[in-house]
Amino acid sequence: MQYTSLGRSALQVSRLCLGTMNFGMVTDQVASFGIMDAAIESGINFIDTADVYGGPQSPDMEKGYGISEEIIGRWLAQGERRDRIVLATKVYQPMGTGPNDRRLSAYHIRKACEDSLSRLQTDHIDLYQMHHVDRRTPWEEIWQAMELLVQQGKVIYVGSSNFAGWDIATAQSEAKARQFMGLVSEQSLYNLNARMIELEVAPACRHFGLGVIPWSPLGGGLLSGALRKATEGRRAEPRMQQQIERHRSQLEAYEALCEQLGEEPSNIALAWLLNNPIVTAAIIGPRTVEQLSGSLRTLEISLSDETLRRLDEIWPGPGGEAPKAYAW
């Protein structure tokens, strides 16, 4: 396994992060336990979840949230696991039907953290991530709440998710004024077919020392052999079929390149992300141990300059960083 620092922090995490959004939704507890056991045995020490994961992600659905954390908590309760992992979860999404059961008020941050700790059966969260920016809550309030959790030892590091570049800059400026470390990571949508963060989010992360943790690195299955497996799993759904048709010419070129390289498309997509110095770890969401094992091949792949150039041709980004991408 390969390890790297989480952003500018000294914390070492594996280059592959085990995402657990499927736990409790499409993967039952027994299978989830097997995946986590296999992950730590392979050297993966980074596990990502969220308070809302595990169901339809709606508090209006009976037991539609918190299940992923509960499964991880029961796994941790078996002992000799907690100190082997870096545990990340998130706060922001609705966790109830009340007006204060969501977003980033100090009130909700405190309660959400306590609830996550209870479900996870642990006394601290290694990386507590804001699942989305909340522009209605002042940063003084957000940082006050996060600082208190850090002082209490309930949270070690703070991260963001789905932030714009200027949100990251604002957050870090306010944190610096309070002499607080602020954010160490940003979890963003990033893959070969979704490269908009290259405009401003990635440069902001580089400037402020945040590690990027891409979510949906395979584009919801689009980049994992969609043409070859067009009738399997989520790829058979109407929305994905529309995506496949929209990108058919790109997919044909991409999958032909992967075949030429002798590698699975999913592993090339992950290797492309890990080739970027700003990326700390890519989140993988295996539904089986076999899928997890297949992803480990990614760490052995080295992409040549010619392959990187060809991938840019097939899946062009926004043209570089702002403003050079669109102005002089």
Phi, psi (deg, nearest 5) at residue 42: -80, -10
Residue 285 CA to residue 292 CA, distance in Å, equals 8
Given the residues 3, 53, 65, 326, the one annotated as active site: 53
For residue 200, what are the β-bridge partners? none
Q: Do the strands 211-215 and 3-5 form a parallel or antiparallel pair, or are they unpaired?
A: unpaired
Among all chains, which residue has been given the structure tokens 């657990």? 20
Is 53 annotated as catalytic?
yes
For residue 315, what are the β-bridge partners? none
| Closest C-alpha among 80, 34, 82 to residue 286 | 34
What residues act catalytically?
53
